[in-house]
Amino acid sequence: YSALIYTYTYKHTHKLKTVNIPDIPECFNCPYGTKYFPEYAEKIPGDCTQKLSDIAKECGIYLIGGSIPEDDAGKLYNTCTAFGPDGSMLAKYRKIHLFDINVPGKIRFQESETLSPGDRFSVFDTPYCKIGIGICYDIRFPELAQIYTQKGCKFLVYPGAFNLTTGPAHWELLQRGRAVDNQVFVATASPARDETGSYVAWGHSTVVNPWGEVIAKAGTEETIVYAEIDLKKAEEIREQIPIFSQKRSDLYTVEAKIV
């Protein structure tokens, strides 16, 4: 799969050089399935992350590296890494909320059959703003987005791979919800749809602004989606609808139990 990373990413290198913060999909280095995670898992740092580091350095970008199955001391995690323009690893995030669902007659998937949950948040700084990382199913949990916002993030990124059952119902809805709830930009990166795969992704990588508007969206095919992140717009919205100063912290709180 090292060749796959080179083939897929390097063919778009000239395009990556035109953006500041690209993101790639969840489990981009392997088929999405519990039986595949042990086979494709690797250490971090490792081959995949070295390739991502090389690409970030070559293109001079902040690269959010989707996710890969990570093997650490005999446990497997669904892990996203982020790299700076000098190739250094700025963040490593292990998916906190594992994708365990059972919709009768539609889909049953249990990440916990092979994966372990993470126990840390992941925020990193850029010259533009702080960025918080989640992975796919994490977007269903508003507390994570709220904690990232409390930590100063104005941009939340979720590599993900919703399916043909939850995708049409919830994919865009959840992104818009997290964006409006926290008055932040939200971006997702999904694998393109492959009808022949054992797990068929919904696709539709998306960027949503703090007003809840979809400002960029892919279809189901392989493509690159571009969006301009205007942080002034976020500030304007926060002034117009000042929800953070209106929160009733005397009645309720959402807070991280770890740093």
**Alpha-carbon span 125 to 75, nearest angstrom:** 29
Establish whether 136 is a catalytic residue.
yes
User: What pairs with residue 89 in β-bridges?
Assistant: 83
- Which residues are CB-neighbours of 20 under 8 A, at least 6 positions away? 61, 62, 126, 128
Catalytic residue among 136, 153, 154, 172: 136
Catalytic residue among 26, 70, 111, 172: 26
**Alpha-carbon span 98 to 123, nearest angstrom:** 20
DSSP string over 197-217: SSS-B----EEE-TTS-EEEE
Q: Determine contact, residues 130/151, Cβ cutoff 8 Å.
A: yes
Catalytic residue among 70, 95, 111, 154: 95
Establish whether 129 is a catalytic residue.
no
Establish whether 95 is a catalytic residue.
yes
Residues forming the active site: 26, 95, 136
